[in-house]
Structure 1
C-alpha cells in the first residue's frame, strides 16, 4: 500500500507549512480565517464554473453562513445522529442486507449496490422518498457521478495553476472531467439547470466574453477530441435527456420541489419542505435572506453528493480491509455477538459497548483517507501562520493525507492496526490528528449522519455475513482510485450468511 500512498501524494502542487499540528491548531481554526472557499473546480472554454457561489459548499460570507445554518437546523430536526433517524436508516439497511443475501454467496462487486443504498438515506431526507435499487434514473445518475470521479484523477494541478487548462488537448484529463461534471448536473438538474448555474456564475464573477448567447450555445463543452468509442451509448442517453428538457419536461429537482410544496398545508417531511417553509417565513416578515429556490437547488445537489459517495466509499474500504485481515473480522464478530447478540441488529445505543468494532471503523477512515484533500480555499488577504506568509490570492489545498499518515503521529501509519485507537483498558481514543471530516468552521456538516450510517451499516453487515474473498485464501490487492474522493479499485466479495447462534465462545 505504501507505493500507492506515495503516488497519491506526489502531485507537484503541495507546499508543506510546518508539521501537521498547524492543520488542527484550535486558535487558528476558531478565529475568522482569511480563507474563502475557492469557487472554481471545473471550467468550460468560456470560464463559466459549474459550482458558482451557490448552496453550501462553495458559497462564502453571509450567504454561506445562512445556508449552512438552515441546513444544519433542518438536518438536526430529522434527528441527525439520533435514534429517530437511525430507525429510517435501519429500514434501508434491511433492504441492503436482503439484496446481499440474494447473491447466494457468489462473488460480486457490490460498490454500486452500496452506493445506491447509501444514497437512499440522503434521498429520504432531502425529498422524502427512497428509490428502488433498479430505478433507471438513480442508476444512470450514480454511474455518471462515478465517471466524473474517475475523470478527476489528475485534476488538482489545474485547480492550483488554472492556466494549465489552456494547454491543447485533454491535458490532465480536464476536458473529460468538464464533460462528465456537466453530465452529472444534467442528470440531477436538467440541461436548463446547468445553463442557469453557468449564467449565475457569469453574473457573479464577471466572466469575460460570456454573454447569454454563449451560455445558450455552450454545448461545445462536450467536444472532446479524446472521447472513447465506448462513450457512444452514454452520449445517446444524454441526447435523450436533452430532448426531454427541450420538450419542456421539468428538471428532476424541480419535480421534487413541486411535489414537496404543492400543498403547504400537507407538506411531506423532508429537507425541501422545511427549507421552503423557512424561506416563506422570511419573505412574509420582509427580511433580507439568501433562502431562495436557486440556493435550494444547489444545496440539494451538494448534499446528495456529500451524503452518498464518502460513506459508501468508506464501507467498501472496510470490506476490503476485512478481507485482508480475517483475524480482525473474527474479533469484530465476536464482540458483536457477545455485546449485542444475534437476535437483533445493532442500534446506536450499542455503540458504547463496541469499542473494538468502532476502532476498526476509525482505522478504516484513517488508512483509507478517502478525502486526501479538503476543499480548496482562496486566501483573500496576506496572512502569516507560524512564521510562513501566505500571500493574498493563493490557492490553499489542505492535505489531509499528510495528517492521517504522519509517521510522527502514527506508528507504522500504512498498516491496518485498530488497536491504535484503544487504550490499555480497551477504551476508545480519538487523537487530535484523526480528522476524516476535516476541521474548522467548514468541516463536514454531515459528520453525525455519516458516523451513524457507518456504525449501523457495517455492524449489521458483519453480524449477518462472513466476508470472504472471491477465491479462497487469496484476498484482493487493490489500490486507490485517485480523485477528490478515493475509492478502492473494484473487487469482489462473497457474503456468506452466518448460522444463527454461530459459536463465538473463544475470543479469536
Structure 2
C-alpha cells in the first residue's frame, strides 16, 4: 500500500512539474506576443532565449537579414527586445538629434564582471562617463592626438614594421602579431610612454590574450554568459575571459606602480602620469570619479580600443590587396609618383593621393569590423518612427546595412575604391560611411585611427608587395564574429619593391617617449 502511495505521489509531482513548465512556457509566449505587438517587426523569437541561437549560429547573415524588416527591426536577446537601426536616417535621428537619450550603455554581465563598472567604453551616459571621457580626450590631445608628432610616431613605427616583416621576405608569414605590435606601440607610447619590441615575449602574450578576449566576448561563450551570468561561479571557457582580463589589468598595475615611484608632476610622460596627477588634484572633490580602479580600467579601454580595431582593419586591408593585386599596384604607382620610395607619408599627402585615400576608406567600409556597432541604451522613454521606445531599451546601428546600402554606394557589395571617387577621380566623402559611429559616443580615438590607417597602409604598399602563398586555402570573407569581426588566420608572402630598406628604423630619441618629444 505504501509503495502504491509513493508511486502516486511521484506521479502527481511529475504531473505538477510538467503542468508548471507548460504554464511557464505559455505565459512566456503570451508575454512575447504582447511585447512584439508594441515593437518594430523582426524575426520570430523563441521563448526565454529570443533570437540568440540565430546569432550564435550565423552572426553575419543574421545581421544581413534584419534589413528585410524595414528601417527598424526588433530582435530579442534572451527575453529583452533590442532595436536595430537599419539606415543612416534612423541612426542620425537617434544618435545625433536625440544623442543624450540614445547614448546610454546597457548592463552587460560579462563586461561588468571584467570591468566592475569602471572605465570609459562600457560605462553608461552620466557623470562618471563624462568626466572620464573628457579627461581622456584632453590628455590624449596633450600627448599628440591629431598633431604632427603622432604622424611622425606612426611613420617611424611603420618603418619598424616593414623591417620586421622583411625578415620573412619570400616566406609565408602570419601578419597578426607584427601588425598588432606595431599598432599597439602607438597607443602604448601615449598611455605608457614606451613602445615594445617585436621580440618581447611577455608583450606578445599580452596581445594574444587581448585578441582572444575580443573573440570570446562576442562568441557563443559571451552570449551564453550574458543570458545566464550565474555560470561565473562554475568552471568553463568563460573563466578564460576573466583570467585574460586579470592578466591585462595586472600588467597595467605594474606600470602604474612604477610610474608612482618616478612621477614628476612638472614633466608628465604619458596618460598614466597625467591620471595620477589628476587623482591627487581631485582628492577633495566629492564628485570626483578619479581613483586607481578607474585609472586601470580607462587605460585598459584605451589600450584595447587603440590596438584591436586598427590592427584588424589593416589585416583585412592586406587580404583585399592580395585579392585585388591590380588595386594594390595602382595604389603603389600613385604613392611612388607622389612621395617616392624614401619619404614617409603624411596626412597632408591624402589630397595628392585620392586613389590610395579612397582605398583605405574602402577597406574600412567592406572590412566593417563592427557590423552592428557598439550597443547603446536609451536613458529615457522616447519616440522613434512612431514607436514608443522605453527607457533601458538596447539599440544597435546596423553599420553593415548602412555601409552597403544600394541607394548610397556605386558598388555596395564589392571591394572597389571607386565608391569614394567622383567622376574626376578625386576623393569624395559619403555620409553613409560610419566606421566610427556618430553622436556623443563617437569613437574618441577617431583622429588617431585615421592617421594610423593611412600612414601604415601607405607605408606598407610603398615598400612592399603582398601576395598569397601558392598553397593558401580559400578564405571565408565573412570572417570570425567576436566583439570585432576578425579575418580568419591567414599567411601572406611579402617582397620588397626596391632594394634599399632601412636596417635601423628607430631614429634616436624616438622611444622611450618623454614630454619634450610630444
Band the TM-score falls in, shorter-chain normalisation: 0.7 to 0.9
Q: Is 2:151 the partner of 1:86?
A: yes
Q: Is the 8 A contact 1:37 1:58 kept in 2?
A: yes
Q: Which moved more, 1:121-130 or 1:491-500?
A: 491-500
Q: Distance in 1 between matches of 2:243 and 2:231?
A: 23
Q: Provide the residue aligned with 2:178 in structure 1.
A: 113
In structure 1, what is the equivalent of residue 293 of structure 2? 294
- 1:109-143 Cα deviation digits (max 9, x unpaired): 11122112211111111111111212222122222
Alpha carbons 1:260, 1:267 under 8 Å: kept: no
Distance apart, 1:145 and its partner CA: 2.2
Question: So what's the TM-score if we normalise by structure 1?
Answer: 0.77
DSSP-derived class of the 1:49 partner:
helix
Report Cα offsets for 1:298-351 as digits up to 9, x if no partner.
000111100000000000000000111111111100110111111222122222
> Partners of 1:105 and 1:436 in 2: how far apart?
34
**Do residues 36 (structure 1) and 104 (structure 2) align?**
yes
SS state at 2:493 partner: strand
C-alpha spacing 1:83/1:167, structure 2 compared with 1 (3 Å): closer
| 1:49 partnered with 2:104 | no
Question: What residue number does 1:494 align with?
Answer: 493
Following TM superposition, by how much is the alpha carbon of 1:398 offset from its aligned partner in structure 2, in angstroms?
2.6
In the alignment, what sits opposite 1:228? none
Distance 1:30 1:278, change over 3 A: farther
Q: Are the counterparts in 2 of residues 373 and 484 from structure 1 also a CA contact under 8 Å?
A: no
Q: Is the 8 A contact 1:152 1:482 kept in 2?
A: no
Preserved CA contact (<8 Å) 1:38 1:377: yes
The answer to whether residue 252 in structure 2 is matched with residue 184 in structure 1 is no
1: CA distance, partners of 2:450 / 2:232: 44
Contact 1:52 1:58 in 2 (8 A): no
Q: Which residue number corresponds to residue 258 of structure 1? A: 257
Please report how far the alpha carbon of residue 396 of structure 1 lies from its aligned counterpart in structure 2 after TM superposition. 1.9
- How many Å separate the matches in 1 of 2:221 and 2:396? 9
Q: Distance in 2 between matches of 1:119 and 1:362?
A: 21
**d(CA) in 1 for partners of 2:60, 2:275:** 41
Cα distance change of structure 1 residues 121 and 282 upon mapping to structure 2, 3 Å threshold = same
Matched residue count: 429
Matched, 1:65 2:130: yes
3-state secondary structure, aligned to 2:483: coil
Q: Aligned to 1:36, what secondary structure does the other structure show?
A: coil
Q: 1:116 to 1:8 in 2, by over 3 A?
A: farther
- Return 5+ residue gaps in structure 1 as ranges: 191-251, 502-508
Higher deviation after alignment, 441-450 or 335-344? 335-344
Distance 1:401 1:128 in 2: 36
Among 148, 155, 161, the alignment partner of 1:96 is 161
Two-structure CA RMSD over aligned residues (Å): 3.0
Structure-1 separation of matches of 2:197 and 2:315: 21
Indicate conservation of the 8 Å contact 1:105/1:495, yes or no. Answer: yes
Q: What SS is found at the alignment partner of 1:25?
A: helix
CA distance in 2, matches of 1:453, 1:88: 10
| Alignment deviations for residues 137-158 of structure 1 (CA, whole Å, 9 cap, x no partner) | 2122222222223323444994
Shift in alpha-carbon separation, 1:310–1:91, aligned structure 2, 3 A: same
**Residue 123 of structure 1: aligned partner:** 188
The verdict on how the C-alpha distance between 1:182 and 1:474 changes in structure 2, with shifts beyond 3 A counting, is closer
Listed as ranges, the matches of 1:218-237 within 5 Å are none
- 1: distance between equivalents of 2:193 and 2:243? 25
Residues 283-322 of structure 1 correspond to what in structure 2 (within 5 A)? 283=283, 286=285, 288-322=287-321
CA pair 386-477 structure 1, distance change in 2 beyond 3 A: closer
Offset at residue 57 of structure 1 (A): 1.0
CA distance 1:123–1:373, change in 2 (3 Å)? same
Q: What does residue range 252-401 of structure 1 map to in structure 2 within 5 Å?
A: 252-265=251-264, 267-283=267-283, 286=285, 288-401=287-400
How far apart are 1:5 and its partner, in Å? Answer: 4.7
Structure 2 stretches lacking a partner, 5+ long: 1-57, 67-74, 77-81, 501-518
CA shift, 1:483, in A, is 1.2
